[in-house]
Structure 1
Amino acid sequence: MPERISTGVHNLDNVLNGGFPGRYSYLLHGEPGTGKTTFALQFLLEGVKNGESVVFVSLSQTRHELEMIADSHGWDISKIHVVEMKTGEPETEEQTVFYPVDIRMDLTRDAIMKALDTHKPRRLVYDSLVEVRKLSRDPTRFQREMLSLKQTTSEMGVATLLIDLTTDDSNDLELESYAHGIIHLDKDLPTYGQARRRIEVAKMRGVDFFDGYHDMDILQGKGVVAFPRIVPLLAPEEAGGNLISSGVRPLDEMLGGGLESGTTALVIGQAGTGKSTLASLYLHAALSRGEACAMFLFEERQETFFRRSEGLGLPLRSFHKQGLLEIYDFNPSEISQGEFNEIALRSVDENNTKVVVIDSFTGYVGGLPNSNEAIVQIQLLLKYLARRDVLTVLIVSQSGLLGHQMSMTLDVSFLGDTVLFLRMYEAGSTIERSITVAKKRHGPHDLNIRRLEIGKKGVAVLGQTAPETAVRLLGQS
């Protein structure tokens, strides 16, 4: 079996099904600021960790600049042999016939050969090809230089990472054909908020890799981190269908005994109808049974969530301290879909989480640049969680307060196996809440519209509303 070379980039080896497929030449390109140098340092540090000799040939950055990048992540690059190449005029006055660029190209080539002979590296980074193009003066000589380097490093068994800058005139099909693999780094700047970074394995010979774009970020202490897209079929499928109780008998009876594990429940309603409270019921019931749960907050602070739950007689704080309840408080504009997916999967895979609540899905999607893509990604996540026999509760907000103009910004009803509608309506001089099971794929359910009461004593589901009120509520839907 061919040797696999770890990239040193978190999760990228998974995308490549094991890492680089041997000690060949690989092309890494992207625009400025996409993380190319950080990626290269991770690649070399992975070699250092394995006891390999590594070399960084730099035509564009000094060792001091590389150390600054490494220090920002807490990395020690003292064992990386850095060969600094100055691209200014050579310090000689004897040459009068040859172009200075010819002399510089020769000096660069000689320095690389000397570094290969002296350090006998197993990994090499060449940064960057932009400078080599300038020294080569024409495409033919540049291609000849690259082919010569490839042949030399291949004969010596050196895994080589060539760094190139993505520009309008840098597309070099011959260079790309020389490379055994190509990785592209991409950065997109929204109108407001954090830049979105992506990574793509555009080519990799001899590997059945996971193609297409994957979310990526540069995290302090970790460097470049890839977040592979979710493939639901890769999740080990577990037997599902167990009824999960809310702890409120009338509510369970409306649902034909409870919500099924391995399904998704949408809780839909306008502000103040009790959506988050209803989700907390399932969290508290599961935690009381000793099951691990995860709560993902996109609108409410963690402390506010605890206090609200405690005010309803649902003491969730103690379960959080015990480690049974994981709570994540996100700013949706500062987390990518891929990173969120990885956190959710890690919670399920490492902690055997049985109930996941996302509060709210509306807030999550609202902070992302592409809502349609977000829905596709969440659909893949839900399918993965379903195969792991997890009950997922999605909180979905509607606009409006009272009246007939209740609407959802996004149509996500197809995501739910079960859909619970919560409403507020006028009853005389008071405002009442109602609950309806609008959809349930698995088994029978109550179609009546019932009153929902939320108070200091907890949550209660009472008898159905008056017929004229039920008609009015259905009209509001």
Structure 2
Amino acid sequence: MTKRKVLKPVPTGIPGLDEILRGGLPPANLYLLQGAPGAGKTTAALQFLRAGVALGERCIYVSLSQTAVELELIAASHGWTLEGIRVEELSASDSATAAGDQTIFQTVELRLDETRLAIEKAIEEHKPSRLVYDSLLEIRLITGDAPRFRRELIAFKAFLAKRNVVALLLDTQHGEIANGEEIEGIPHGVIRFDQTLEDYGSLRRRVEVCKMRGVPIADGYHDMAIREGQGVVVFPRILPGHAIETGKPELIKSGVEALDAMFGGGQESGTTTLVIGQPGTGKSTMASLYATAALKRGESVAVFLFEERLETFFRRSEGLGMDLRKYHEKGLLIVEDFNPNEISPGEFAQVVQAIVKTAQTRVVVIDSFTGYLNSLPQRNMAVRDIQALLKYLARSGVLTILIVAQHGLLGQNVGVDVDVSFLGDTVLLLRIAEHDGRLRRNITVVKKRHGPHDLFVHELFINASGISVVPYNPLPET
């Protein structure tokens, strides 16, 4: 019995989408790309064809809705050209007959036949491996009824299949079935681009592969963006199982003996520590302490800032005797300064994953998780996304330090309205207490899933000479 040849997937030109599709689109099939105007369909279609040109394939863009000049402008906005892509400009609504007789107005059947024949002729002449059909709206308008529209699609699918063409059909209609069309059953796969605009802030984009026959896709929504020079960029959700499991956990020390003793000798790799406290209690300082200790051991560290500026981060650390700037210049310390309103959970997770993979990072600091959550419209969903990221980091043997702020200068409530306590394997609580006319910083390990830990309250001292932890003793009364 001869083995059936396994054909390679067809890359879409969008790496993140190929990852969701487990390599790309199954070859020699017809696919539907749906989305509202402005969702990025044309840009993605050009990326699809450009990927084919890069592989030496013949590609054709059949346009019923946009002119070649408009397509060139879209390509130029990203620094691309249409070189190697044949553009067939057609009109499905008002094409004139060759002889010019009949009547002033063409019948529906005649307009539909002329459009179909023009497309088939272009395909027969150019013999493309890839084709984009833009868009189905024009064909839907001239067919007039759903059964005829379905028959046209089925016939076109059969025509392309005989010629081994991978076709991408663009459509603005999606979601609910309109006029009984039910066309989603015709193509081999359906991809949808979705966009939402909140009351304030930037547009949120996402993609869903809602159908793909024969492919174990990563289903559900994935964040996406349209970037100048890159086009459509997709950020697949993090799958913790894709991380490479590390060996036995190691103790990661802070460099302060008394602090390490509170954790039973140190913190374990492959765990997450929540550092919770009011403003001024030393949350970011504690994160910098562990980062400095790791850097001194020659390990790579990544810090992700959502509130503090990069220069402020360096100066604060230098004021405590921790020179992190030199490690940053050497490339051992990676610092990313984000604008929370311009990054989605999916993109953030992809950035973290890429850095951990390439730099073999041992310590990751997210400062602050509160600011990150507060910038997102659906914070409960963001917590689920960050949980998947933390599991990935844990499997990679990374110690993750998550900074969580509390409301108010002396408040006791966590500064987010969602439960985040379950995210931490270890919880380090920092507080400010007033006693005898001065403020005192208290530090307590309130939770540690793995191994013993100190249950006592200690006092935390932060000054120019460094950081120290001593047993808490009430000041003597006078």
| TM bin (shorter chain) | over 0.9
**Which AA in structure 2 matches 1:201?**
V
TM-aligned CA deviation for residue 7 of structure 1:
1.1
State the match for 2:45 in structure 1. Answer: 40
State the match for 1:239 in structure 2. Answer: 247
Helix, strand or coil at the partner of 2:361 = coil
**Matched positions, count:** 468
Distance 1:254 1:3 in 2: 55
Distance 2:476 2:182 in 1: 75
2:358 is the counterpart of 1:353: no
* Cα displacement string for residues 318-368 of structure 1 (whole angstroms, at most 9, x for unaligned residues): 111111111111111110000000000001111101100000000011111
In structure 2, the CA distance between the partners of 1:146 and 1:325, relative to structure 1 (3 Å rule), is same
Specify which of 316, 320, 340 is matched with residue 308 of structure 1: 316
8 Å Cα contact 1:267/1:421 also seen in 2: yes
8 Å Cα contact 2:92/2:139 also seen in 1: no
8 Å Cα contact 1:451/1:464 also seen in 2: yes
Distance 1:395 1:407 in 2: 11
Distance 1:436 1:239 in 2: 29
Unaligned runs of 5+ in 2: 1-5
State the match for 1:366 in structure 2. Answer: 374
Specify which of 10, 18, 23 is matched with residue 23 of structure 2: 18
Helix, strand or coil at the partner of 2:49 = helix
8 Å Cα contact 2:146/2:179 also seen in 1: no
**Which AA in structure 2 matches 1:78?**
E
Helix, strand or coil at the partner of 2:33 = strand
Superposed CA RMSD in Å reads: 1.8
Distance 1:75 1:45 in 2: 9
State the match for 2:133 in structure 1. Answer: 126
Distance 2:15 2:464 in 1: 47
State the match for 1:262 in structure 2. Answer: 270
Spell out the pairing of 1:30-429 with structure 2 (5 A cutoff): 30-92=35-97, 93-96=100-103, 99-166=106-173, 170=178, 173-402=181-410, 405-409=412-416, 410-429=418-437
TM-aligned CA deviation for residue 459 of structure 1:
0.9
Distance 1:406 1:467 in 2: 27
Unaligned runs of 5+ in 1: 470-477
Task: State the identity as a percent.
Answer: 55
Distance 1:82 1:223 in 2: 19
8 Å Cα contact 1:89/1:100 also seen in 2: no
8 Å Cα contact 2:146/2:181 also seen in 1: no
Distance 2:269 2:228 in 1: 37
Distance 2:137 2:223 in 1: 26
TM-aligned CA deviation for residue 235 of structure 1:
1.3
8 Å Cα contact 2:147/2:181 also seen in 1: no
8 Å Cα contact 2:404/2:414 also seen in 1: no
TM-aligned CA deviation for residue 88 of structure 1:
4.8
Distance 1:204 1:171 in 2: 24
Helix, strand or coil at the partner of 1:448 = coil
**Which AA in structure 2 matches 1:387?**
R
8 Å Cα contact 1:10/1:224 also seen in 2: no
* Cα displacement string for residues 180-202 of structure 1 (whole angstroms, at most 9, x for unaligned residues): 11111100111111111111111
TM-aligned CA deviation for residue 276 of structure 1:
0.1
* Cα displacement string for residues 248-299 of structure 1 (whole angstroms, at most 9, x for unaligned residues): 1111111111110000001000100000000000101101111111100000
TM-aligned CA deviation for residue 169 of structure 1:
6.2
TM-aligned CA deviation for residue 100 of structure 1:
4.1
Distance 2:115 2:335 in 1: 54
Report the TM-score, using the length of structure 1 for normalisation. 0.95
In structure 2, the CA distance between the partners of 1:240 and 1:77, relative to structure 1 (3 Å rule), is farther
Q: Which moved more, 1:88-97 or 1:334-343?
A: 88-97
TM-aligned CA deviation for residue 118 of structure 1:
1.3
Helix, strand or coil at the partner of 2:42 = helix
Kindly report structure 1 stretches of 4+ aligned residues shifted beyond 6 Å.
none
In structure 2, the CA distance between the partners of 1:145 and 1:407, relative to structure 1 (3 Å rule), is closer
Distance 2:413 2:161 in 1: 65
In structure 2, the CA distance between the partners of 1:98 and 1:143, relative to structure 1 (3 Å rule), is farther
State the match for 1:472 in structure 2. Answer: none
**Which AA in structure 2 matches 1:322?**
K
Distance 2:177 2:396 in 1: 48
* Cα displacement string for residues 44-76 of structure 1 (whole angstroms, at most 9, x for unaligned residues): 111000000000000111111111111111112
TM-aligned CA deviation for residue 399 of structure 1:
0.8
**Which AA in structure 2 matches 1:15?**
I
Q: Which moved more, 1:97-106 or 1:23-32?
A: 97-106
Helix, strand or coil at the partner of 2:77 = helix
State the match for 1:447 in structure 2. Answer: 455
TM-aligned CA deviation for residue 453 of structure 1:
0.8
Distance 1:413 1:467 in 2: 32
In structure 2, the CA distance between the partners of 1:179 and 1:380, relative to structure 1 (3 Å rule), is same
State the match for 1:473 in structure 2. Answer: none
Helix, strand or coil at the partner of 1:74 = coil
* Cα displacement string for residues 146-181 of structure 1 (whole angstroms, at most 9, x for unaligned residues): 112111110000000011112566476542111011
* Cα displacement string for residues 107-126 of structure 1 (whole angstroms, at most 9, x for unaligned residues): 21122112111110000000
Specify which of 449, 456, 464 is matched with residue 472 of structure 2: 464
